[in-house]
Amino acid sequence: MKTKARILLVYTGGTIGMIKDYDTGALKAFNFDELLQNIPELKLLEHEIETLSFKDPLDSSNMNPDGWLQIAETVEENYDKYDGFVILHGSDTMSYTASALSFMFENLGKPIIFTGSQLPIGDLRTDAKENLITSIQIAGLRKKGKPVISEVGLYFEYKLYRANRTTKINAEHFQAFASPNYSPLAESGVYLSVHETDLWKPDRKQKLKLHRHLDNDILILKMFPGISKSTVEHMLSKENLKGVILETFGSGNAPNDEWFLNILKEKISLGLRIVNVTQCIAGSVTMGQYETSMELKKIGVVSGKDITTEAAVGKMMYLLTKNLSAKVFKTIFETSLRGEMA
């Protein structure tokens, strides 16, 4: 009987593996082997760990859909060989990458755990070791021969979250992430406690499918008091624009000026998909609750409900490649596909 879980650890870049360039004082990516030498504890883990590194590790600000696909293809190629995957990634855009991957993989039946750190692994006060070691342990959890976690997770500072529910909330604190609309999937203290009822339940009869194509002809339009007609017009006139994530106030409210609604209405009639997400850190869009969101609903703006902006980006890029009619796009966007919305 197989006892040890096999884990593939993939280094894509990020602070965890960075070192200070003493000429410039800036942090830059360094050699993955050196990173591993800094964590002799890995040998103490009960799992079999194999490692792989991006040829040119990235600061995650340089991550993009090509990089997402590179991670996804690495997982896909190795899917049958390993019980779980741990992806080391910069924290800056980790929620975007991890959310996108959750949509790119349909019928995921194994854990893909993203982690990173606020301080490099070589730093005396680093948070990297705990994040990495516990992520590996989580990826290796099994019950009756099946993985306990079967979704894309993000582990940081003692908490495992559903990745597509997360957002980076702090550039300095070790607790850099939050999942404001969904409780953590697991918490690490003296014991590792997994909240089993909150986990994604995969359909294990279905085969893993990787959706490779994403459409990045989208933009995020963040509303602010005083936004002008020319700004909105200019942004929504971008050539080839297919989707807009409209970051609105509160429960999905925006100015109900005629000029604003007319621009949106016209663009929607020309095929633009517009999704309403809230600027609030927590809570949900409820179009129709106020007069200032009633019209948005009437003209065909899609509700992002309690989705994060990060997950909305991934979901939109994924759905735009499916050539859906406006009606079907709306129905599917408003449905939870990977646990990303209530």
* Residue positions annotated with a catalytic role: 15
Q: Which stretch binds ligand ASP (CB under 6 A): 7-15, 44-52, 251-259, 321-329?
A: 7-15
Q: Which stretch binds ligand ASP (CB under 6 A): 2-10, 90-98, 253-261, 293-301?
A: 90-98
Q: Does 15 bind ligand ASP (CB under 6 A)?
A: yes
Retrieve residue 241's tokens: 């624009």
| Residue among 67, 116, 243, 314 that touches ligand ASP (CB under 6 A) | 116
DSSP 8-state code for residue 280: S
| Residue among 6, 20, 38, 59 that touches ligand ASP (CB under 6 A) | 59
E strands, the chain, in order:
6-13, 18-20, 27-29, 48-58, 84-88, 105-106, 112-115, 142-143, 146-147, 152-156, 159-162, 167-168, 177-178, 186-188, 192-194, 209-210, 218-222, 243-248, 273-278, 302-303
Minimum distance, C-beta of residue 119 to ligand ASP, in the bound complex (Å) = 9
User: Which amino acid appears at position 283 of this protein?
Assistant: G
Q: Does 90 bind ligand ASP (CB under 6 A)?
A: yes
- On whether the CB atoms of residues 273 and 244 are closer than 8 A, the answer is yes
Nearest to 324 by CA among 203, 207, 215: 215
Q: Does 164 bind ligand ASP (CB under 6 A)?
A: no
Q: Does 120 bind ligand ASP (CB under 6 A)?
A: no
Q: Does 60 bind ligand ASP (CB under 6 A)?
A: yes
Element (H, E) at 95: helix 94-104
Q: Does 153 bind ligand ASP (CB under 6 A)?
A: no
Q: Does 91 bind ligand ASP (CB under 6 A)?
A: yes
Q: Does 92 bind ligand ASP (CB under 6 A)?
A: yes
The rounded distance, in Å, linking the Cα atoms of 315 and 322 is 11
Minimum distance, C-beta of residue 16 to ligand ASP, in the bound complex (Å) = 6
**Residues in touch with ligand ASP (CB under 6 A):** 13-15, 59-61, 90-92, 116, 118
